[in-house]
């Protein structure tokens, strides 16, 4: 099935939910409204047999050329259909003022950890996620490291590093 057909089917079902769709090599991408994420993915899973959720990730577009900050974050869902051997990328835009998206953990088990990682790295909150806490960083960590405004060389050691020179003097 071509992406246009699929976009048409979604459009029929969820009016106004598709913002755009594009094809780049074999990457077929559909951008949908944030409110419809859960419903559209549920529809794709149940009726278009996209049974694998390969990946969930986010991109911070702050400072990206030709792009305003209103849609700073983009969440990328990478779906795969084993039956039809088809890959589909669903994207949604998240405003900096309202960093929440509906969780799809009830649809795919794998969404649990993927969404936790997005929360950890970007600070986007997933509503209805059963266990939304940091996964790669430790709980005391301040900030979200993959945001563009998190400095590249900033260090937050969990235990303060010992000042070797000073100790030697004291001894």
Partner 1 sequence: MSLENNITKLEDGRLVLNMGPSHPAMHGIVRIILTVEGERVVNSEVEIGYLHRGFEKTCENSNYNQIIPYTDRLNYVSPFINEVGFVMAVEKMMGVELPERAKYIRVIMSEISRMTDHLTCIAANAMELGAFTPYFYLINARELLYQSGDMASGGRVTPNYFRIGGTSFDLTPDFIEFTKNALKKVDSYLSDTRKLLERNRIFYDRLKDTGKITREDAVSYGFTGPLIRSVGIDYDVRKYSPYLVYDRFDFEIPVADGGDNYARFLVRMEEINQSRKIIEQALLQLPDGPIDVDDYSVRLPQKDEVYGSIEGLISHFKLTFEGPKTPKGEIYFAVEGANGELGYYIVSDGTHKPWRVKVRPPCFPVTGALPRLINGGYIADIVATFGQINMIGGELER
38 near partner 1 (CB under 8 A)? no
Degrees to nearest 5, angle at CA 51 with 21 and 129: 85
Residue with tokens 């030697």: 168
By rule CB under 8 A, what string of x and - marks binding of each residue 89-128 to partner 1? x------------------xxx-xxx------x-------
Strand partners, 90: 30, 77
27 binds partner 1 per the rule CB under 8 A: yes
Instruction: Identify the CA nearest to 104 among candidates 34, 53, 38, 33.
Output: 38
Q: Is 71 in the site for partner 1 (CB under 8 A)?
A: no
Nearest to 108 by CA among 57, 38, 33, 27: 38
Question: Which residues of this protein are in contact with partner 1, per CB under 8 A?
Answer: 24-27, 51-55, 57, 59-60, 64-65, 76, 78, 82, 85, 87, 89, 108-110, 112-114, 121, 134-138, 145-146, 150, 152
């Amino acid at each position: 099935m071509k992406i246009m057909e699929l976009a048409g089917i979604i459009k029929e079902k969820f009016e106004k939910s598709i913002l755009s769709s594009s094809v780049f090599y074999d990457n077929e991408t559909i951008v949908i409204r944030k409110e419809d994420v859960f419903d559209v993915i549920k529809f794709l899973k149940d009726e278009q047999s996209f049974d694998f959720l390969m990946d969930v990730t986010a991109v911070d577009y702050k400072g990206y050329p030709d792009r305003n900050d209103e849609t700073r974050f983009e969440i990328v869902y990478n779906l795969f259909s084993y039956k039809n051997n088809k890959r589909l990328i669903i994207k949604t835009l998240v405003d900096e003022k309202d960093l929440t998206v509906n969780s799809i953990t009830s649809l795919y088990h794998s969404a649990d950890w993927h969404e936790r990682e997005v929360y950890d790295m970007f600070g986007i909150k997933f509503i209805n996620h059963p266990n939304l806490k940091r996964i790669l960083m430790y709980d005391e960590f301040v900030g979200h490291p993959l945001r563009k405004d998190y400095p590249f060389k900033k260090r937050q050691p969990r235990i303060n590093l010992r000042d070797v020179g000073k100790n030697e003097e004291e001894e």
